[in-house]
Amino acid sequence: MLTLIKNGEIYAPHFLGKKDILIVDQKIGYIKDQIELPNQFVDIKVIDAKGKLVVPGFIDAHVHIVGGGGEGSYRTRTPEIQLSDATLAGVTTLIGVIGTDGTTRTMTNLIAKARGLEEEGITCYIQTGSYQVPLKTVTGRIEDDIILIDKIIGVGEVAIADHRSSQPTSEEIAKIAAAARVGGLLSGKAGIVNVHVGDGYDHLNVILDVVENTEIPIKQFYPTHINRNPHLFEEGIQYAKKGGYVDFTTSSIPKFFEEGEIKCSVALKRMLDSNIDISQMTFTSDGQGSLPDFNEFGELVGLKVGKVSTLYDEVRDAVLEEKIPLEVALRVITQNPAAILKLPQKGIIAEGKDADLVLLNKDDLTIDSVIALGKLMVSEKLPIVKGTFE
């Protein structure tokens, strides 16, 4: 199947100017200044992208694809993600994780859901484990999960500095990271350890202790929720200055901002102003995860659900409100997560890469159309491909 996108301005995410893109099946075949339709040739679907920006499909590296939550008992278990939840948000690649509940949300659930989403048309990988240590893996060993199971690319999300964590020691985190690292090296995968960082004032100290007292490099870790409060954010700046990755969570509620959570678009600007390299930063949505509100006694007083749609909303706000150049802001949901997670076919627009593309309206930067693996999933803001049970 051939699809020709004409007259669009390409952000790869670096700016390429006005180009035509020919998609050949699931790949980007050619990018040229102009591609003309041949006479008496096979059918070619033509998409006129005049007045639009063509950008890479978005990568959301932290999504509870089988649902999450449960902090308010069984009825508060959040629902699984649906295909159009992702595609309408421009997300063409998901990384699935298990959170607080590693009992009723299992690794086999996660693998099956990832494969289901791929059958429906988008790319999905997963991390092994959940908040709790020791990790509940598929095979019984972290290394074996990463080496032998194609969908598993690392570990996560392991919780630290949180009253819901299993309070892991630095020695336990070091052993997890060592196993993930070896598994990644032997399989050509990232072997990254995705770390949930809670509200506790221990901050990132467990990770830093591992880095300072073992041979494990700081970039083996991928800590998230760094924008959740001012004191963690300041620690995050210092952590990034040591060379570490920092991830900001886009899903939130107004009450969290009132209590000091830093909006992702603002966090990005402040990190850049602190001379942190853009390649070290990403946004993730925490989609379908619970957003629990606990009082000072650790009692649950409210609960909302994270939304994948917030991922690009914050990138758009970074451009429109914080005046960050589009080609810089886009990197936190395209090129950067692709590099960190070792997904070489994702995150950039180039010949031979996967044909995951988003068309933005140039006037207001809203999402118009979405292509995943060469297939048009969203057109003129409407889903034309829906999930099996939508």
E strand or H helix at 20: strand 15-24
E strand or H helix at 117: helix 107-120
- Please provide the size of the chain in residues: 390
CB contact at 8 A, 2 and 42: yes
Selected catalytic residue, list 247, 286, 356, 368 = 286
Q: Which residue has the tokens 């297939």?
A: 375
Please indicate whether residue 48 is annotated as part of the active site: no
Count Cα atoms within 13 angstroms, Cβ side, for 329.
23
3-state secondary structure 123-163: EEEEEECCCCCCCCCCCCCHHHHHHHCCCEEEEEEEEECCC
- Of all residues in the chain, what percent are helix, strand and coil, respectively (each to 5)? 30, 30, 40
Could you check whether the bond before residue 325 is cis, i.e. omega within 30 degrees of 0? no
DSSP per position, 67-82: --B-TT-GGGBPPPP-
User: Which residues belong to the active site?
Assistant: 286
